[in-house]
Amino acid sequence: MPDTTRRADRLPGNRYGNRPTMKDVAARAGVGLKTVSRVVNGEPGVTPETERRVQEAIDALGFRRNDSARVLRKGRTASIGLVLEDLADPFYGPLSRAVEEVARAHGALLINGSSAEDPDREQELVLALCARRVDGLVVIPAGDDHRYLEPELKAGVATVFVDRPAGRIDADVVVSDNFGGARDGVAHLIAHGHRRIGFIGDMPRIHTAAERLRGYRAAMADAGIPIEDSWMSLGVTDPVRVRRAAEEMLADPRPVTAIFTGNNRVTVTVIRVLAEQTRGVALVGFDDIELADLLQPGVTVVAQDAAALGRTAAERLFRQLDGTLLAPDRIELPTRLVTRGSGELPPAD
C-alpha cells in the first residue's frame, strides 16, 4: 500500500533522515558490525543461518549501504565524470549514451555536466568531479588550457579528451578527422563544378571549427581556387546571425553557388535559408541530421560517429584504469561523406 504519511512527518531528524547504518542492522540481528559488512559485500565466512538473520534485519530496516563512507575507506568511487558542451545538442546525446554503456559494463556510474562552451564553467565542473573523486574523466573541452588538471593526472585520475584535444597538457585524445572530413566535403562540391563556395562555421578558437576551416581552405587550395573573404563567416552559430551570413553570401553580385556548413546547428539554419531561395544552392554540412534524407533535396553531410567517439574514449579510460594503457595517445576516427542530393546540385550560374 502507498505510504500516506505527509512528507513533513518523514523529514530528516538528523542528517540522512535517520537512515539505518550497519550498526543498527547488527544490533537488530544480534551480530557484530563486521558480520553485517560481510553479508552486504558477499564475503565468505558467514554461516547461512547468520546470513539469513542479517538479511532479515536489512530488509526490515530498509538499510542501504552508504557509499560515501565506503569510498572514503576504499578509494575507488566506481563513477566517472563526463563534461560536455550541451546535453541537449543531438550530437552529444549518443556520445553520452555510449560513454554510459561502457561505464555500466565496468560497473561504474556516470556523472555529467554541461559546460555551455564556457571554459570557466568547464574547469569548475571538472574540479567538482575531482572533488568527488571520480575514477576517471571524459572531457569535451571548452577551454584550451588544461594545466589545472596536472595534479589530477599525477594523482592517477584517468582522463580522456573527446571531440577536441586537450590544451597544454599531455593526455589521451579521441577526435574525428575534422580536417579530412571537411576537405572531402568541399572537394565533393568542387567535383560537382562549384568554384564559389561559402563556409559558415564556429569560432576558430574551437579546435573542431578551426580544423574544418583548414579542411575548407585545403580543398580550395588543392583545386587552385582563391578564396574571397566574403565567402567565409566565422564564429557564427546562433540562428539569426547564421541566417544573415548566408543571405549576404547569396546576395553578392557574384554569389556563392554552394555552402559548406561547419556543424549541425549551422546546417539546420542554412537549410531554412536555402528553402526560401528560388535558385538552387548546393549544400554540404558537417554532422549528420535526423530526417536529412527526407528533405527536398536530401542533405549531403560529412557524418561523424558520435557514439564511436564516446565508446572509444570510455574504453581508453577504463584501460587507463586497468593499467593496460600506458602512454597517452591521439586517436582519430574517420568521417563519412553521405550524399543525398544537396551536395550534388550543379552550380546555378
Partner DNA sequence: CCCGCATCTGACAACGTTGTCCAGGCTCTA
Partner DNA sequence: TAGAGCCTGGACAACGTTGTCAGATGCGGG
| Residues in 45-74 that interact with DNA by CB under 7 A | 45-47, 49-50, 63, 65-66, 69-70, 72-74
| Residue 130 or 138 with smaller CB distance to its own copies | 130
Residue numbers 16-35 binding DNA by CB under 7 A? 16, 19, 21-23, 26, 30-35
C-alpha angle 96-91-340 in degrees, rounded to nearest 5: 140
Q: How far apart are CA 291 and CA 240, in angstroms?
A: 23
- DSSP structural state of residue 37: H
Q: Which does 130 bind (CB under 5 to 8 A by kind): its own copies, DNA, none?
A: its own copies
| Residue 6 or 48 with smaller CB distance to its own copies | 6
Rounded CA Rg of the chain: 27
| Residue 16 or 254 with smaller CB distance to its own copies | 16
| Residue 21 or 339 with smaller CB distance to its own copies | 21
Contact 269, 285 (CB under 8 A): no
Q: Does 76 bind DNA (CB under 7 A)?
A: no
| Residue 23 or 147 with smaller CB distance to DNA | 23
Q: CB 219 → DNA: shortest distance, Å?
A: 52
Q: How far apart are CA 74 and CA 41, in angstroms?
A: 13
Instruction: Kindly determine how many residues on this chain lie close enough to bind DNA according to the rule CB under 7 A.
Output: 31
Beta carbons within 8 Å of 277's beta carbon, 6+ residues apart:
250
In this structure, what C-alpha cell is assigned to residue 245? Answer: 551570413
Q: Does 250 bind DNA (CB under 7 A)?
A: no
In this structure, what C-alpha cell is assigned to residue 147? Answer: 594545466
Residue choice 6, 7, 8, 41 for contact with DNA (CB under 7 A): 41
Contact 292, 340 (CB under 8 A): yes
Q: CB 71 → DNA: shortest distance, Å?
A: 9
| Residue 63 or 199 with smaller CB distance to DNA | 63
Q: Which does 34 bind (CB under 5 to 8 A by kind): its own copies, DNA, none?
A: DNA
Q: Does 15 bind DNA (CB under 7 A)?
A: yes
Contact 138, 81 (CB under 8 A): yes
Beta-sheet strands, E only, within the chain = 79-84, 109-114, 136-139, 158-162, 172-176, 197-200, 232-233, 258-261, 282-286, 300-303, 330-333, 336-338
Chain residues that interact with DNA, rule: CB under 7 A: 15-16, 19, 21-23, 26, 30-35, 37-38, 40-41, 44-47, 49-50, 63, 65-66, 69-70, 72-74
